[in-house]
Amino acid sequence: MTQTPVPVLHEADELLLGFARALRAAGVPVTQDRTRSYLEATALVGLDDQRATYWAGRATLCSGPDDLDRYDQVFTAWFLSGDRPSPRSQKDERRTVQAALDEGDGAGEVETDEETLNAMASEAEVLRHRDIADLSAREKARLATMFETLRPRAPRRPAHRRNPWHRGDVDAQRTLRQMLKRMGEPGEVVWRRPAQRPRRVVLLLDVSGSMSSYADALLRLAHRFSHPTVGPGTRGVPRVEVFTIGTRLTRVTRAMRMRDPERAIVAAGETVPDWSGGTRLGETLRIFLDRWGQRGLARGAVVVVFSDGWERGDAGLLGEQMRRLHALAHRVVWVNPHVGKTGYLPVQQGIVAALPYVDDLVAGHSLATFADLIEVVADA
Partner 1 sequence: MHPTTLGSPDDLAKRLGDTGYLCDESLATIGFLALSMHRPLLLEGEPGTGKTALAEAFAEALELPLIRLQCYEGIDAGQALYDWDFPRQILHLRSLEAAGGGAVTDAVAAEESLFDERFLLARPVLRALRESPAVLLVDEIDRADDEFEAFLLEVLSTYQVTIPELGTITAATPPVVVLTSNRTREVHDALKRRCLYHWVEHPGLDREIAIVRTRAPEVSEALARQVATLVQRLRTAEGLLKPPGVAETLDWARALQSLGTRELDVESAAKTLGAVVKYREDAQRVRQALDRMLAG
* Residue numbers at the binding site for partner 1 (CB under 8 A): 29, 31, 33-34, 37, 40-41, 44-45, 51-52, 55-56, 58-60, 62-65, 68, 159-161, 173, 176-177, 180, 183, 197, 235-236, 239, 253, 286, 290, 292, 294-297, 299, 324
Q: Which is nearer to partner 1, 297 or 354 (CB)?
A: 297
Smallest distance from partner 1 to CB 32, Å: 10
Cβ nearer to partner 1, comparing 53 with 369: 53
Least Cβ distance, residue 42 to partner 1 (angstroms): 10
Give the nearest distance from C-beta 160 to partner 1 in angstroms: 3
* Beta carbon nearer to partner 1, 128 or 324: 324
Nearer to partner 1, 107 or 237 (CB): 237
For 2, 19, 36, 334, the CA distances from 6, given in Å and listed in that order, are: 10, 19, 21, 64
Q: Count the Cβ atoms, other than its own, within 10 Å of residue 203.
A: 26
Comparison of 55 and 344: residue with beta carbon closer to partner 1: 55
Q: Which amino acid is at 217?
A: A
* Beta strands 191-198; 169-170: pairing state: antiparallel
Q: Which of 68, 41, 64 is nearest to 52 (CA)?
A: 41
Q: How far is the CB of 271 from partner 1 (least distance, A)?
A: 15
Task: Please say which residue, 197 or 280, places its beta carbon nearer to partner 1.
Answer: 197
Could you tell me the smallest distance in angstroms from the CB atom of residue 210 to partner 1? 27
Burial class (CB in 10 A: 0-12, 13-18, 19+), 254: middle
Shortest Å, Cβ 63 to partner 1: 4
Q: Which is nearer to partner 1, 41 or 219 (CB)?
A: 41
* Nearest residue to 245 (alpha-carbon basis) of 291, 200, 199, 301: 291
Nearest approach in angstroms of CB 161 to partner 1 is 6
Q: Give the Å distances, CA to CA, from 124 to 104, 144, 248.
A: 13, 11, 36
Strand order in the sheet with 201-206: 250-251, 240-245, 201-206, 302-306, 331-336, 360-363
Question: From CA 193, how far away is CA 166, in angstroms rounded?
Answer: 9
Which of 295, 115, 311 shows the shortest CA–CA distance to 211? 311
- Please, what is the minimum distance in Å from the beta carbon of residue 224 to partner 1? 20
CB-CB contact of 220 with 265 (8 Å):
yes
| Rounded Cα gap, residues 63 and 48, in angstroms | 25
- With beta carbons less than 8 A apart as the criterion, state whether 304 and 204 touch: yes
**Residue 13 or 262 having the CB closest to partner 1:** 13
